[in-house]
Chain A
């Protein structure tokens, strides 16, 4: 009996270790908030629907972190670069007056070459900055966003849906109503027990996850993984580590541009100018909450992390509003959680 006790204790300890303390705390926190929300008679079905939607709409952006981490360039703080490429694709689709799925997939198609080129340049930069990738990446993201503010203000788009009525340049937010608003969310969606399931959105997200998973079973994917895990091992096998780092960053940039289109169709607007600025941090926080480190990440980390992070945000807002009428409490908690998690991950020396 004592022996069994010991072994169950040990396996519990093992479980805690593999699941990780930060995740356990977050899960407990989330469940507590759910409990509070129920006692406050906030409709739980609504909360869960919102969580699922936000899970799907942010998922691909979080997924974009993965190739960069695996290639050894750390968290993909250059996410705004990918996002901007996606936005340009989205704008082009409107300019060409596309609607429905044609518009959505058209936007992805237009953004692909842009993000491939941008990702290559970004990866090239990362290779010249070995050792301080993440710090510099953050600033690359920031400066690119600022640079693009000028572009948005001067861009020669003609469509009246996007341009300011007077003068030139693009509006700050561009509505996708009638174009491809919620096109994935509504695809095959249904509701059970008052919970809306955004089938198309989740399918697309899972599809992208499978794609990434498939990539990491290919020759290139394995070379990329090995380069991130042990660059010296890879080069002793004749793999060009620098090339693999570029491939990883191209892949991350492409996922970032697809990610923002998925996000925008669900949100209903394309957000230009400074909107992409902090999206990299939110995505980074999500994958870290899921259990990834700056050296290692998996699809499970993406799925779990996005769900926990978004679940937390969705439930925090109504609970905070009921408990204290301080309007910005949800926003504050979001910033504390996201920045706290990033800090935690960066403080882990070996990234293990």
Chain B
């Protein structure tokens, strides 16, 4: 058998989910000891690629994938994560899969324990063998030493700092004797800066032992620091493959974001500074898991449309949720010149803020209720509108609600069979319009809109954005629009704040170049410029 120079070769990989193409013709080759970086925005196809490599059931239950995978020059079919493991492909998970009550050694050796014979096992078989703790400990020690970890291999996982847990995950992988390829999926996301530096060192040490590494991250600086070759994905396509020495962080940023610019729907307002500040945010922290806001400072002027962008998980969504009191938050916020109470949804609603949630189906709508109830609900509860008094009881004023709903359906062009239709039956775009209608009937001064076009089709996207622009112009509404789609922000916003790692990395005008945006999103602005 001819031994290939590549330990892993993925050739022409493509994937379609129910007619929706998410990955096409991606080819990646890894030599032993090579560190290969994969960069791309959310939705560029990185996770699909990894799901294919690990034979996840989501791939095979939807009709498999295109292209071939070879390990050591031999074509393989990976049907399950177990297959991948047998072939020597390992993964360091983003979420730690460790058992807190077990010691480090036990976790490293879990399900691969070394055992020795005892009288009972001779009778009852292998399941009854005793653990060979001495050798297990020695193996664990060796793996930890490779990573330069000087903690006791018998310490319990519970109570260890997050950084250590990450290393134990890695130790578990490199303890596997047949390991050939190790995948790191955003490993530095949860680490502090010094821990991240240690990790990169450890990755180099692993590569020196001849193990190939696939490194997925959005931190371009880290890619530049340790990778020998880099693959850039965008919208499921392989945009470029570069060697580290022939590229720069700027080029990577540009390649990652692309040059597509959305249609300009509105001219950015140039003299914002002349307008008074409506909302001033200082040192905002929001404990929203997965979208944690660590320290945000931002001034929002009256009448502007400000965009908040950034990659998923960096905390851009936490800002609106925090100010609206949906997640515990702290910091100093001044609104209309007065101090604003955080953690109080009622206060936020009563002072003229309204919120269109990023999670339309589970926060934004009562899916089993009528369109009209959805639209009127918040105004009814908070502003006592659309109610009539019967003695001490406040009853819904059906006529007023119906009139309101019919007006909104007409104004926002909600396609439905009537105001009594369940919102579950509406299309995504029309559901979004119902959410906007609900916010509008509060007659807000400040409107938070999060991911307004997520999960709706192209035509409807444009309509929703046009609606927002029209509202801001007609009603003088101040809009804070949070979105993962940069092109969308650039087409309607006056300014765009990019959130990285829970902080505002910078504020750009929609006229600034793609590279600028890319660098801010990749958190490379401070390090390299």
Contacts and interface: CB of A to CB of B under 8 A. Distances in A.
Nearest to B347: A238
Contact of B363 (A219, A226, A236): A236
Contacts of A222: 373, 377, 380-381, 396
Interface in B108-129: none
Chain B, interface size category, equals 20 to 34
A230 interface: yes
Nearest to B355: A236
B369 A236 contact: no
How many A residues touch the partner, as a band? 10 to 19
A219 B395 contact: yes
Contacts of B368: 229, 296
A230 B394 contact: no
A330 to B, nearest CB: 38
Interface string B333-360: 0000000000001101110000101010
A243 to B, nearest CB: 12
Contacts of A238: 345-346, 348-350, 378, 381-382
Contacts of B359: 232
A125 interface: no
Contacts of B348: 238
A179 B381 CA distance: 45
B507 interface: no
B260 interface: no
A236 B394 contact: no
Nearest to B396: A217
Given A238-B345, A296-B368, A230 B382 contact: no
Contacts of B87: none
Interface of B: 324, 326, 345-346, 348-350, 355, 357, 359, 362-369, 373, 377-378, 380-382, 384, 387, 393-396, 398
Quick one: which of A219, A230, A238, A239 has the most chain B CB within 10 A? A238
Nearest to B382: A238
Nearest to A352: B368
B396 A237 contact: no
A233 interface: yes
Interface string A123-145: 00000000000000000000000
Contacts of A225: 369
Interface of A: 214, 217-220, 222-223, 225-226, 229-230, 232-233, 235-239, 296
A226 B387 contact: no
A223 B381 contact: yes
B345 A236 contact: yes
B369 A229 contact: yes
B394 A237 contact: no
B369 A237 contact: no
A218 B394 CA distance: 6
Contact of A226 (B346, B369, B398): B369
Most buried by A among B362, B366, B394: B366
18 contacts: A214-B395, A218-B393, A218-B396, A219-B380, A219-B384, A219-B394, A220-B394, A222-B377, A222-B396, A225-B369, A226-B369, A230-B362, A232-B362, A233-B363, A236-B363, A236-B364, A237-B381, A238-B349
Contacts of B395: 214, 217-219
Contact of A237 (B362, B382, B384, B387): B382
A236 B357 CA distance: 9
| Most central of A218, A232, A237 by chain B CB within 10 Å | A237
B324 A233 contact: no
A222 B387 CA distance: 11
A220 B377 CA distance: 11
Contacts of A239: 381
Contacts of A237: 345, 349, 377-378, 381-382
